[in-house]
Amino acid sequence: MEIIGNVLYGQSGGPTSVINSSAFGLIEEAYKLGIKKVYAARYGIDGIINDDLIDLSIFSENELKELKTIPGASFGSVRYKLPEYEKDCSPFEEILKTFKKYNIRYFFYNGGNDSMDTCYKIDRFLKTINYQCYVIGIPKTIDNDLVEIDHTPGYGSAAKYVKDTVEEIVSDNLSYRNAKVNIIEIMGRSAGWLAASSALAHLSGLGPDLIYLPETTFYIDDFIKNVKNIYDKNKRINIVVSEGIKDKNNNFISASQKQDIFGHNNLGGVGQYLLGYVEEKLHLSGRAIELSIPQRAAIHDISKVDQKEAILCGRYAIRKAINGTSGVMISMKRSSNDRYKISYVTSSLEKVANGVKLVPSFMIDEKNHQMTKEFFTYICPIVGAENKVHLKINSKILKK
Amino acid sequence: MEIIGNVLYGQSGGPTSVINSSAFGLIEEAYKLGIKKVYAARYGIDGIINDDLIDLSIFSENELKELKTIPGASFGSVRYKLPEYEKDCSPFEEILKTFKKYNIRYFFYNGGNDSMDTCYKIDRFLKTINYQCYVIGIPKTIDNDLVEIDHTPGYGSAAKYVKDTVEEIVSDNLSYRNAKVNIIEIMGRSAGWLAASSALAHLSGLGPDLIYLPETTFYIDDFIKNVKNIYDKNKRINIVVSEGIKDKNNNFISASQKQDIFGHNNLGGVGQYLLGYVEEKLHLSGRAIELSIPQRAAIHDISKVDQKEAILCGRYAIRKAINGTSGVMISMKRSSNDRYKISYVTSSLEKVANGVKLVPSFMIDEKNHQMTKEFFTYICPIVGAENKVHLKINSKILKK
């Protein structure tokens, strides 16, 4: 098809290690396909509304390649929820002004479920007013909680970092005869995919003893009982908790229940909170370890598979748009598990917007707070096999 | 010289990413040199006192090579301070019993300053009673605070992890228009070497705005003033604090001044504590990020130079012992800075035991809470140049 105008790309939501790789894939391919101008919005939708775009021709080819090595969201991200057009059209009018000024006919928004909602609303608005523009969402989130896609770009790298870090923490914990209670807190408010990825550390014999996900109700008494049993037996314990675990009334188990020196709520997280319980009830000392920002930023430990897929999502997006597709998110479909193979397809933005994909129960071994082999089959190829640690020697020495 | 008996190796103090690499260097070389039996103590001095040794011949050559890939202290570590022999000789008698039982004539203890004290005491005791045994300390600590050595094995890898992680956190922080106050807490109770290594992130344009070390007195009012100035200007700030910073009365600035829900002290660290102050005084929200255990365990991000030097320290130790040296720690001397070159020498254990090497004032740019170029000259070759991030593109976009 004929090229009818310029490209605009924006980033939205929490950064991942490979969101800039998607940007790279899209931009490089856009120039290759003959697009004259490729713009990026600074700070996502905020930059579009406020006419704050960058013409990417100021960068050399080599500088654009550097995107693959930069953590964070290089063009600036934003958390912004567009209203319904019918209720408040003012931000849409500003968006249109910017689109017309730069002759934007291909628009790409790179983000998670909220961002797909934004993308969907913009697509609907532009269709309503008959402004010809092809709108495509590019998926991204470490949480892996988008529906209609096998897994999200960003998840594999975050999962690899979590796996490696949990292995290292568990190995460190083995170094002392009477070791500590380690409670490792991992991101994921709604879905436990990232906390679940810590189970991969079992492959090298250094997995966590207990994994708590938001998908199963959290009972504090059971938790204390489990900790006691394992500690009594092993004289050490490593626990992974998702920040999003909830009690039977659907309230977050969290530090918002405690106050800091200034009387503020919300200091520290669920790990710190649970550690307080363990210290009080079992008189065991320990350490709450929050993996914090590095989970979504640790580009030094990316999954190569994840990076490649992120680039391909970007490339595929521009090709689909030029071929006349709009109102979709780029999606990945797994053709086979025996030999991992991904095909790139599209899903309707409407279906994706604001949906949340939880870890299905067949991947959770509820009784043991561990993951089933179905989960391993699902996640192993995404995370890749780099940096394998072999620990036969360790188990011969310290686990005797 | 003639080989007069068997080898015993032990680990002590906090693990590092490369302590097992030193073990590998020593063990491999010991077999090569014709030692019949190489034993490792489980959990350091504790294993020696309690006759808990492992005969390493149960491992294949390949299994021993795996040591280079295992985080933590694979043979088990301990924190144990031997008494003066003159005051309490009972642990020394137990040690001697074990040495005699296994015909130990070469003893190696791998640790930091406290461990060198242990090593020194054992050497003195064995000399006093005329038991012929060559005793050598192998240095190790992420804190880099041993005297009489250019830098310690373990420091380069921890520093690399700190550099990479700070870069990533700063880059993540750039992703939002009005970003947060990040306070990054880094290990080091007495000396600020590891916190100082965060300055390396400046090489890619992603360094911290302020670095606070234990070597300079911490004034909370100055801190708040500095944070306000930088935040007002940049609308974001990244601060690195060493866990060991102290006020003018030499008291630790720390969370022991606050209590948790159970009335316990010591929940959370100095970063969390300072964040509370910033929130209270400046009404800014933020995040305290404690690098925690991964600093000393992140083998997935080691410095190759550090690993190589750790192996060489182990190899050199066994060679020196067989040649009749005792009562020393293996040390590294930098021959030249223009072309980084290390020679392996020995230092008297007596000098090293319990000494603490602080960051010298000529490496600290006090006014700016940054490090001087002398510090960069010192640290760059230790950390190595792997995983360089080039960020021209980032600064063109988000720092405009």
The CATH architecture annotation of domain B6-153+299-352 reads 3-Layer(aba) Sandwich (3.40)
Considering only CB atoms, B72 lies closest to which of A54, A172, A264, namely: A172
A177's CB contacts (< 8 A; 6+ apart) are: A235, B43, B46, B76, B78
Q: Which residue, among A172, A291, A301, would best test binding to B if mutated, counting the most B CBs under 10 Å from its CB?
A: A172
What number is the average pLDDT over the span B249-268? 58
Q: How many CB atoms lie within 10 A of CB A286?
A: 24
What number is the average pLDDT over the span A107-125? 96
Higher per-residue confidence, B87 vs A266: B87
Give the span between the Cα atoms of A102 and A121, in whole angstroms.
20
* DSSP symbol at A38: E
Q: How many CB atoms lie within 10 A of CB A233?
A: 10
- In this model, does residue B262 exceed pLDDT 80? no
Q: Hey, do B6-153+299-352 and B159-298+359-398 end up sharing a CATH topology, with the first three levels equal?
A: yes
- Predicted local confidence at residue A260, as pLDDT: 42
Which residues of chain B does A168 touch, with a Cβ-Cβ cutoff of 8 Å? Answer: 71-72, 293-294, 297-300
- Predicted local confidence at residue B269, as pLDDT: 86
Sheet (strand A286-290) strand order:
A210-212, A237-242, A181-186, A286-290
Give the residue from A194, A193, A89, A153 showing the smallest Cα distance to A315.
A153
Cβ pair A396:B59 closer than 8 A: yes
Residue B73: phi and psi, rounded to 5, are: -110, 100
How close does chain B come to A238, measured CA to CA in Å?
Answer: 13
Check: complex ipTM more than 0.85: yes
- Predicted local confidence at residue B312, as pLDDT: 98
Q: Across chain B, where does the E strand assignment appear? A: 6-11, 38-41, 53-55, 104-111, 134-139, 181-186, 210-212, 237-242, 286-290, 328-336, 341-348, 364-365, 370-371
Q: Is B77 exposed, middle or buried (0-12, 13-18, 19+ CB in 10 A)?
A: buried
The CATH architecture annotation of domain B159-298+359-398 reads 3-Layer(aba) Sandwich (3.40)
Give the span between the Cα atoms of B390 and A60, in whole angstroms.
13
Segment (H or E) for A290: strand A286-290
Q: How many CB atoms lie within 10 A of CB B268?
A: 23
Q: Is A299 exposed, middle or buried (0-12, 13-18, 19+ CB in 10 A)?
A: buried
pLDDT tier at A336 (50, 70, 90 boundaries)?
A: confident
Given a contact cutoff of 8 angstroms between Cβ atoms, the answer to whether B94 and B59 are in contact is no
Apex CA A208: angle with CA A207 and CA A211, to 5°?
130
Which residues of chain B does A69 touch, with a Cβ-Cβ cutoff of 8 Å? Answer: 389-390
Residue A396: phi and psi, rounded to 5, are: -65, -30
Given a contact cutoff of 8 angstroms between Cβ atoms, the answer to whether B139 and B176 are in contact is no
Give the span between the Cα atoms of B242 and B400, in whole angstroms.
31
Q: What's the full length of chain A, in residues?
A: 400
Cβ pair A72:B15 closer than 8 A: no
Q: How many CB atoms lie within 10 A of CB A361?
A: 11
- Predicted local confidence at residue A393, as pLDDT: 53
Considering only CB atoms, A76 lies closest to which of B73, B177, B287, namely: B177
Scored b (16 or more CB within 10 A) or e, B122-141 reads: bbbbbeeeeeebbbbbbbbb
Segment (H or E) for A110: strand A104-111
**Which residue type does A25 have?**
G
Which residues of chain A does B263 touch, with a Cβ-Cβ cutoff of 8 Å? Answer: none
Which range is least confidently modeled, A51-55, A201-205, B181-185? A201-205
Give the residue from A59, A135, A94, A44 showing the smallest Cα distance to A352.
A135
- In this model, does residue A265 exceed pLDDT 80? no
Q: Which residue, among B187, B293, B383, would best test binding to A if mutated, counting the most A CBs under 10 Å from its CB?
A: B293
Mode of pairing for the β-strands spanning A38-41 and A6-11: parallel
- Predicted local confidence at residue B254, as pLDDT: 74
B143 catalytic, yes or no? yes
pLDDT digits (tens, 9 = 90+) for A278-313: 999 999 999 999 999 999 999 999 999 999 999 999
Cβ pair A64:B261 closer than 8 A: no
A283's CB contacts (< 8 A; 6+ apart) are: none
pLDDT tier at B338 (50, 70, 90 boundaries)?
A: confident
Give the span between the Cα atoms of A165 and A170, in whole angstroms.
9
Please give the CATH number for the structural domain made up of A158-298+359-398.
3.40.50.460
Active-site entry in A46, A117, A143, A209: A143
Domain ranges of chain B: 6-153+299-352, 159-298+359-398
